Amino acid sequence: MKAWGSWEWVLAALIVAVYVGFGLGIDGFASPYAIADSTTHMSEKALLAMAMALLVIAGEIDLSIAATMALCSLSMGYAMQAGTGAAGMVGAALGCGIACGTFNGWLVTRWQLPSIVVTIGTLSLYRGLALVLLGDEAITGYPEWLSQWGNGTLGDLVGWPWLIMPIECGVMLVVASVFILLQHRTVHGRRIYAIGANPVAARFSGIAVQRYRLLLFTVAGLMAALAAVQLTGRIGSTRPNLALGWELDAITVVILGGVAIQGGRGSLVGVLFATVLLGSFTFALGMLNVSGMVMTTVVGGLFVGAMVLPRVAARLARATARRSHSTVLKP
């Protein structure tokens, strides 16, 4: 499937409209520093959305991805308290994410369970573990290097003050580029599309369907861990409610990006554009002092609209085609 189509052009136009419209109405919204700041928050969600998109294209879903982030942050906090260095802390987070994702994939592939049911259960399991282990407390006192990773810029790393792109945004762009190339330019990406379109036919064509499914869940856990490292560095603490509700944001971005919820179709370029669109829009609402409850309502509305509008458009297209065909057949 093409990485760039008509829907990607629509998303690109909407992004321009958001920045132009809010830039004219909000002082400083379109400034380079504000744009750089807006990418920080969306970068973490983009990591989740990329992994979620691959799962949805393959006909699966992971509702525990945000809860996995909380557990990964907790693992990193415990590793810090145990006296491990940077490698130990990051390794603990990544190891936890891989374990959580692999466990989800094992339940889905080994026991033939629906992924939506499995990940609803593991959402409660992972979030519950974080709540039980931490309670109302928080882990703080993270080292400076982690804060630099979450809040610093690429210019800080290379000594170029003019380079104000956040490190998180740089990481996101690298990861997104790898995902896009693998999905749209390799045989593995075509196999994932085939699995989502018809898993039985894919299996008979020689594709290791269950192996790919297990790998995709593991990748989702890995991306949740990477996002947890970045978010923990940005806010400087570990809490059991870390990234609460972000699974809804990730799914909304995936659907808004043009990925078919039934699987088999979608572009990761569209998912990246949808992340920027939703992130810039919510950032503008934040600058207008709009409450978090209103933002949640907006995200929910976009989620419903992103699912309904493509079906409405398809029905209108079919109706138009039938009318055109009837007109041609008339004597």
The per-residue pLDDT for range 194-231, each reduced to its tens digit, is 999 999 999 999 999 999 999 999 999 999 999 999 99
Average pLDDT over residues 159-188: 95
Is pLDDT at 327 greater than 70 in this prediction?
no
Cα separation, 143 vs 146, in Å, equals 6
Q: Which CATH number fits domain 6-322: 1.10.3470, 1.10.3430, 3.30.70, 3.90.1690?
A: 1.10.3470
Quick one: pLDDT band at residue 300, thresholds 50, 70, 90?
A: confident
Return the pLDDT at 311: 78
Quick one: pLDDT band at residue 296, thresholds 50, 70, 90?
A: confident
Quick one: pLDDT band at residue 304, thresholds 50, 70, 90?
A: confident
Residue of higher predicted confidence among 323 and 171: 171
Alpha carbons within 13 angstroms on the beta-carbon side of residue 6 total: 1
- Size of the chain, expressed as the number of residues it contains: 331
Cα separation, 52 vs 45, in Å, equals 10
Could you tell me the CA-to-CA distances from 158 to 122, 155, 167 in Å, in that order? 41, 5, 11
Quick one: pLDDT band at residue 313, thresholds 50, 70, 90?
A: confident
Is pLDDT at 59 greater than 90 in this prediction?
yes
155-168 confidence digits (pLDDT tens): 998 999 899 999 99
Residue of higher predicted confidence among 296 and 182: 182
Percent of the chain at pLDDT > 90 equals 79
Average pLDDT over residues 282-287: 92
Return the pLDDT at 317: 81
65-109 confidence digits (pLDDT tens): 999 999 999 999 999 999 999 999 999 999 999 999 999 999 999
Return the pLDDT at 69: 98
238, β-bridge pairs: 139
Is pLDDT at 301 greater than 90 in this prediction?
no
Q: From the DSSP assignment, how many helices (H) and strands (E) are in the chain?
A: 14, 0
Q: Domain-by-domain residue ranges, the chain?
A: 6-322
Q: Which of 36-40, 142-146, 325-329 has the lowest mean pLDDT?
A: 325-329
Return the pLDDT at 266: 93
Is pLDDT at 325 greater than 70 in this prediction?
no
Is pLDDT at 316 greater than 90 in this prediction?
no
Return the pLDDT at 292: 82
Is pLDDT at 328 greater than 70 in this prediction?
no
Is pLDDT at 330 greater than 60 in this prediction?
no
Segment holding 54, helix H or strand E: helix 32-57
Return the pLDDT at 17: 93
Quick one: pLDDT band at residue 112, thresholds 50, 70, 90?
A: very high
Task: Judge whether 254 and 271 are in contact, CB under 8 Å.
Answer: yes
Nearest to 269 by CA among 203, 327, 204, 182: 182
